[in-house]
Amino acid sequence: MTNPTNPVRCTRVFARTRIQLSVLLTLLALLAAGSASAQVLQYYATSFSSADGWITDSGGMSSTGAHCSATGCDATLNTRFTTLVTPAGRSIIITPHNLLVGSNYTVEICIPTSAGNIGADINVTWTFTGADDGHGGTPVFDPTAYSSGHYKIGTTFHNDVWYLAGQFWATSTDPQITVNYASSTDATGQRWNEGAYKLSLVGDCRNNVPQITTIDGPLIAGQTNVTAMGVTNGATIVYIYSNGVKIGTNSSFSLGTNSTGSVTVRTSALNKGDVITASQVMNLGGACGSTEGKPLSAGPIVGGGPNPQIRMVFEIGKNTTLIGPVGTNAGGIGSPLYWLGSGARAQATTGASFVNGASLTPGAGWQTVVFNNTDGPTLDYNDNTFGPIAGTFGVLSGVAFAMDDTTDTGPFNIYIDNIKNGTNVLFDAETNSVGSTPFFNTPNGGANFGGYNSAVNILPNPNLCSISTSNADTGTKAILCGFQFSHNVQNTTWMHVSTKNFPEVDLSLPISMRVLVLPLGVKTNGLNIISPVYLPNLTKVIGSSASFSVASAVRGGTDSASVSYQWMQNGNNLSDTTTPNGSVISGTQTATLQINNVTADVQGDITCNITSTANGYQSSISGSLTATTSVAPSSLTYGFTAPSTLNLSWSAGVLQSANTLLSVGTVWTDVAGANSPYQVPVTTQKYYRLRGQ
């Protein structure tokens, strides 16, 4: 390697003349501060050794008098070529040595096009050993890198142009790059011309792409999409990873005025316990080109669904100057803050969870959670000292919840009603409108607890503590708090919601709340959104119709009118409209999306976001639509919804029926208006099949 402070220097190794192919290795050290070093590898047309093995070919290639004169090349060295008469099986093997494992290198090519007859349409394949794309995959290189058009300036061919073919990350000190001839539409007299190769150490281009640090929730087993937040303007692709394996790609998004940088990516089904991360691709220009950034080494964990077991305490602020009465706004949270119901922190460090508290068991119905300052466990969080809390009155500053099942992150839907201090009612949900947040702040908002922001332990969504009519202890309304933990470390996985008006409480009286935690998929009344429900992957002939429905995802209750729908294509909201190519889209805010006159305008990932304002539950359901000129029929499946009710289902094709099945000459006719699923009439016997479109 040359000293970075010295000028360019060439090294030649002379050996036996029986070896006709040799290599010149030129090490170019760029003098600019912080610039990367480059290795320029060239063919050598005279009888010198190739024993160092930098470049070899498969034979059948000849020397030409043309040479590369780009910066770093030795302009006295000729290149090699093969004509397109018999190029099949020809290959070039580039084996640089002593690379830095884990570092990023670009590969540029200089083709001396003045040699003449250089093919304008040369296609090659690139294979690699000891190198990847920085994420365990195959590096992406330009298959047309040897075509002459890349080496023109204006209308003139040049010998001094470096063309960026691609980049790789070294997983070995001596990786191998193999270039294989694939195809060409040029005349047989044209040439596949080899030249010089420049390997430049550019550090790690991924470090120049901002990391995606936030994954939105909920994340539930079976879910088939994930939303990444904080995507950078100018990003072209967003990838989702599960346990380090890529499970979803979105390259068709537009951030527009999206202030959160949110991009929804369709994925394979999530599994409970999966660790979810994301990355983005940006065109950095220069040597780096289009580069995928690094996903975080850790991310949020997929939960099994609402609700695992969880523990709860009350948060009480000390303020000996308060004089009441109960329910008066204390004007602040008080200090220090106490956990009422816990006698110890799980560990000594800041951010530790609490031990003990009230255990909330899903399926136990409405439970009364009650704590007393006078005879119950009480802990000053900051000083780690015990209560009771001094003074006549204190401040109900909030409630806290701690993970009690380290195998599951949720999400959680917790109903709270009848908040009392003794017999004094601190809050009456019945006088407040559905969806409002009159008593608690949202889990991601409001005051911190003891100087610690517990919001770092939860996903951005679900994020609510609002009035709901789905369940109530008495009357028709209660508070619904929805959230999901982002990780599952028992001693530090907890969160709190603070009160808005800091009600004073009489410390001589018990403080109580009625709390409901329901098992997965259970609601006592009201709207129940069941997830996942899968949308089909449809392939439709251009000009035909397509429909998607999530009606089966919504179940029962008296408040089903409070559910809202928003259909999306490739992560962008759809509206009822006619597209430029004539597709008619309707039902974009209903349970069924209808697309008439399918064109390329409407193909891609199709997602429906379902939200219940009654209970705060959210679900995203995804499928896809492909527009084509012809469609082969899919398989035809059947199922019974009742002993005498037969339903046929399919994803592509036209349903036909016949009255009689003959060995030859069966008459099949299209079933008018038949869409999947199709309920078979029980009045007559018929035979059914699918035909292509």
**Nearest-angstrom CA–CA distance, 637 and 632:** 16
Does residue 59 sit in the same domain as residue 169?
yes
pLDDT value of residue 501: 92
pLDDT value of residue 338: 93
**Has residue 422 been placed in a domain?**
yes
- b/e burial code for range 440-450 (CB count within 10 A of at least 16 → b): bbbbbebbebb
**Nearest-angstrom CA–CA distance, 93 and 599:** 45
Does residue 358 sit in the same domain as residue 479?
yes
pLDDT value of residue 90: 81
Does residue 55 sit in the same domain as residue 181?
yes
**Nearest-angstrom CA–CA distance, 113 and 274:** 52
Q: What is the mean pLDDT of each run of 10 residues along the chain (693 residues)?
A: 28 22 25 41 43 64 78 76 73 84 86 78 93 89 90 78 90 90 86 84 85 92 92 93 94 80 91 95 80 89 89 94 95 91 82 87 82 87 84 95 89 93 93 93 80 85 90 90 88 90 95 86 53 72 88 58 83 92 93 92 89 64 84 76 72 84 82 84 77 78
Check: CB of residue 670 under 8 Å from CB of residue 656. Answer: yes
Does residue 332 sit in the same domain as residue 480?
yes
Q: How many CA atoms lie within 13 A of 137 on its CB side?
A: 11
**Nearest-angstrom CA–CA distance, 666 and 452:** 76
Does residue 50 sit in the same domain as residue 142?
yes
Does residue 603 sit in the same domain as residue 650?
no
**Nearest-angstrom CA–CA distance, 489 and 520:** 22
Of 257, 292, 327, the one marking the end of a domain is 292
- What is the CATH number for 252? 2.60.40
- What is the CATH number for 574? 2.60.40.10
Which range of residues forms the domain containing residue 359? 310-517
DSSP output for 144-199: TTTSGGGGEETTEE-SS--EEEEEEEESSSS-EEEEEEEEE-S-TTSEEE--EEEE
Residue of 162, 39, 51 whose CA lies nearest to 96: 39
Residues facing residue 123 across a β-bridge: 183
User: How long is the chain?
Assistant: 693
**Nearest-angstrom CA–CA distance, 221 and 457:** 19
**Has residue 303 been placed in a domain?**
no
**Nearest-angstrom CA–CA distance, 497 and 475:** 24
pLDDT value of residue 555: 55
Check: CB of residue 409 under 8 Å from CB of residue 303. Answer: yes
**Has residue 146 been placed in a domain?**
yes
**What's the DSSP call for residue 270?**
P
**Has residue 4 been placed in a domain?**
no
Spatial CB neighbours of 231, under 8 Å, sequence gap ≥ 6: 212, 238, 253, 255, 261, 262, 263, 280
Does residue 64 sit in the same domain as residue 140?
yes
Does residue 225 sit in the same domain as residue 279?
yes
What angle is formed at CA 664 by the lines to CA 662 and CA 666, rounded to 5 degrees? 55
Residue position matching structure tokens 């093919």: 119
Does residue 445 sit in the same domain as residue 382?
yes
**DSSP strand E in 544-666: where?**
546-549, 554-555, 563-569, 572-573, 577-578, 584-586, 592-596, 604-612, 618-628, 637-642, 645-649, 654-658
**Nearest-angstrom CA–CA distance, 198 and 219:** 45
Does residue 354 sit in the same domain as residue 413?
yes
**Nearest-angstrom CA–CA distance, 187 and 462:** 62
Does residue 361 sit in the same domain as residue 445?
yes
Q: pTM for the complete prediction? A: 0.64
**Has residue 301 been placed in a domain?**
no
Spatial CB neighbours of 363, under 8 Å, sequence gap ≥ 6: 517, 518, 519, 522
Of 517, 536, 568, the one marking the end of a domain is 517
- The values of phi and psi at residue 148, to 5°, are -65, -25
Count Cβ atoms within 10 A of the Cβ of residue 155 and give its class: 0-12 exposed, 13-18 middle, 19 or more buried. Answer: exposed
Taking the alpha carbons at both ends of the chain, their separation in whole angstroms is: 64
Check: CB of residue 414 under 8 Å from CB of residue 478. Answer: no
Domain count, the chain: 5
Of 292, 319, 353, the one marking the end of a domain is 292
Check: CB of residue 97 under 8 Å from CB of residue 164. Answer: no
* The pair of three-digit structure tokens given for residue 62, joined into one six-digit string: 């000849």
**Nearest-angstrom CA–CA distance, 242 and 304:** 15
**CB 533: neighbour CB atoms within 10 A?**
18
398 φψ region: left (φ > 0), alpha (ψ -120 to 50), beta (else):
left
- What is the CATH number for 156? 2.60.120.260
**Has residue 176 been placed in a domain?**
yes
**Has residue 300 been placed in a domain?**
no
**Nearest-angstrom CA–CA distance, 481 and 443:** 8
Residues facing residue 313 across a β-bridge: 400
Does residue 148 sit in the same domain as residue 14?
yes
* The pair of three-digit structure tokens given for residue 81, joined into one six-digit string: 């070529």
Query: How far out from the chain centre does Cα 247 lie?
Result: 8
3-state secondary structure 459-476: CCCCCEEEEECCCCCCCC
**What's the DSSP call for residue 346?**
S
**Has residue 574 been placed in a domain?**
yes
